[in-house]
């Protein structure tokens, strides 16, 4: 076939090797779909590898590969935010299209990278950066392009979902499951990015930008991990018909007439959701994103959020899109952004400065676990405080005392602004009958 497409892969870890394997396995499908030959001409790798086809140049100078005349598309799968950034900027400068799976880099430096790419009339594609093999970037940028997106909620960290699933299914405590996840290779030796929600926050920043047409604002994502979730809370939630999942939310709030309350909530936190919701039944390392948009309504996208095969699938989907760009007649003059999808879904000059709300401004339902001495009137005191703060109780569960004289009271509330809840909890904790800090977990009906 004419006009072969020349790829460079920078980094030969799990994902880089997965891309090579995919091309070996599916070259016939790739050619039948694109009408072009797809060739890896060069790989950037520090260490020479003897398991790579001899026709592929192995170059330990990654910057040279990123700028090579022998390359149309540069695939960056090194990871990290230093060398990866350098090679991407270098590739862009030399007119190469870039495909990357690097969520941390884009969440933190995406505005700069995309602007640089636009200035050089090339594209930086990043389907693999969010939810692995689930094509959520393409879906939101293209398939939902005619919708106004109201909110999205996603299980976007497989390790966290694995841990929450095992805790519930097997009744195992957090630390125990985390150790298994590390042994299985799902969690890193340093699991901070996964269990503290930072990885999810990176992905949420990307999703929110393409949902609402706002610049990337990773630093404004409210982020809460799963390290504080106990089996006790998992079980109470189930008893009340809910399940605790670690979710990322991006929500557009119109402020209901109050301009100060209008803006976007970006938050990552454990959340009680109804057991019967499909999202509650996405288990193990699977990822899923639920998008609510007008006029489409709710759509759900589910699949593997990590792993060599899923990530390679997303990387090569981006390559196939770029093959069409490279196949256009005006290849020599690529200043034709009119027919390409904008990096952040909306054209750059149309990105909006809608404010990101602070945590205290965010509105969610709550699960509260309050420990009190079993004295008359304690329930009346708590409910009066909540009522005075304008907080509506949706359900209440008082369990028999598990220590002598002490009973946990579980309360589910309707949505309330966090600042209101903060004040109410402060008052509850000052009651003489309350023996511990109030445990709170957010709750969402996904409606």
User: Least distance (Å) from a second copy to the CB of residue 339?
Assistant: 4
- Residue number with CB closer to a second copy (240 or 312): 312
- Residue number with CB closer to a second copy (210 or 443): 210
Annotated catalytic residue, options 203, 286, 329, 437: 203
- Residue number with CB closer to a second copy (12 or 195): 12
- Residue number with CB closer to a second copy (228 or 297): 297
User: Least distance (Å) from a second copy to the CB of residue 51?
Assistant: 18
The annotated binding site for NADPH is made up of 103
Q: 246, 243, 188, 207: which is closest to 344 by C-alpha?
A: 207
User: Least distance (Å) from a second copy to the CB of residue 414?
Assistant: 25
User: Least distance (Å) from a second copy to the CB of residue 264?
Assistant: 15
- Residue number with CB closer to a second copy (8 or 382): 8
Strand partners, 32: none
The CA distance from 393 to 359, in Å, is 21
- Residue number with CB closer to a second copy (36 or 168): 36
User: Least distance (Å) from a second copy to the CB of residue 138?
Assistant: 5
- Residue number with CB closer to a second copy (222 or 346): 346
Read off the tokens for 92. Answer: 């862009």
Cα dihedral 341, 344, 347, 351, rounded to 10, equals 170
Annotated catalytic residue 203? yes
User: Least distance (Å) from a second copy to the CB of residue 329?
Assistant: 5
The annotated binding site for NADP(+) is made up of 10-17
User: Least distance (Å) from a second copy to the CB of residue 406?
Assistant: 38
Known catalytic residues?
Answer: 203
């Amino acid at each position: 076939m004419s006009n072969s497409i020349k790829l460079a892969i920078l980094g030969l870890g799990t994902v880089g090797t997965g891309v090579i394997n995919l091309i070996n396995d599916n070259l016939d499908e790739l050619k039948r779909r694109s009408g072009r030959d797809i060739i890896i001409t060069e790989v950037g790798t520090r260490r020479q590898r003897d398991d790579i086809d001899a026709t592929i140049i192995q170059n330990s100078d990654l910057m040279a590969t990123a700028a090579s005349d022998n390359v149309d598309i540069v695939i960056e799968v090194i990871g990290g935010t230093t060398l990866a950034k350098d090679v991407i900027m270098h590739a862009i400068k030399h007119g190469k299209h870039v495909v990357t799976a690097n969520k941390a880099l884009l969440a933190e430096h995406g505005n700069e990278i995309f602007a640089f790419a636009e200035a050089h009339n090339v594209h930086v594609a990043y389907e693999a950066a969010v939810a692995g093999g689930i094509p959520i970037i393409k879906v939101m940028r293209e398939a939902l392009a005619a919708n106004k997106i109201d909110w999205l909620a996603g299980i976007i960290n497989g390790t966290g979902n694995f841990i929450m699933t095992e805790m519930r299914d097997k009744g195992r405590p957090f630390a125990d499951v985390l150790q298994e996840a590390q042994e299985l290779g799902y969690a890193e030796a340093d699991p901070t990015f996964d269990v503290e929600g930072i990885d999810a926050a990176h992905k949420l920043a990307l999703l929110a930008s393409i949902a609402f047409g706002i610049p990337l604002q990773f630093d404004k994502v409210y982020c809460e991990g799963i390290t504080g979730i106990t089996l006790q809370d998992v079980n109470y939630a189930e008893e009340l018909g809910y399940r605790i999942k670690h979710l990322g939310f991006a929500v557009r709030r119109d402020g209901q007439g109050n301009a100060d309350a209008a803006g976007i909530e970006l938050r990552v936190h454990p959340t009680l959701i109804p057991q019967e919701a499909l999202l509650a039944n996405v288990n193990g390392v699977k990822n899923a994103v639920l998008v609510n948009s007008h006029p489409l309504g709710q759509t759900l996208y589910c699949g593997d959020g990590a792993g060599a095969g899923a990530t390679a699938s997303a990387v090569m989907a981006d390559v196939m899109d770029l093959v069409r760009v490279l196949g256009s007649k005006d290849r020599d003059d690529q200043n034709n952004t009119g027919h390409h999808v904008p990096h952040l879904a909306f054209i750059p000059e149309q990105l909006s400065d809608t404010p990101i709300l602070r945590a205290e401004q965010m509105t969610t339902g709550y699960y509260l676990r309050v420990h009190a001495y079993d004295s008359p009137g304690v329930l009346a005191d708590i409910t009066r405080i909540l009522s005075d703060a304008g907080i509506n109780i949706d359900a209440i569960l008082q369990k028999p005392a598990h220590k002598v004289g002490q009973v946990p009271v579980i309360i589910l509330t309707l949505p309330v602004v966090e600042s209101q809840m903060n004040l109410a909890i402060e008052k509850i904790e000052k009651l003489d009958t309350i023996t511990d800090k109030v445990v709170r977990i957010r709750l969402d009906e996904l409606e």
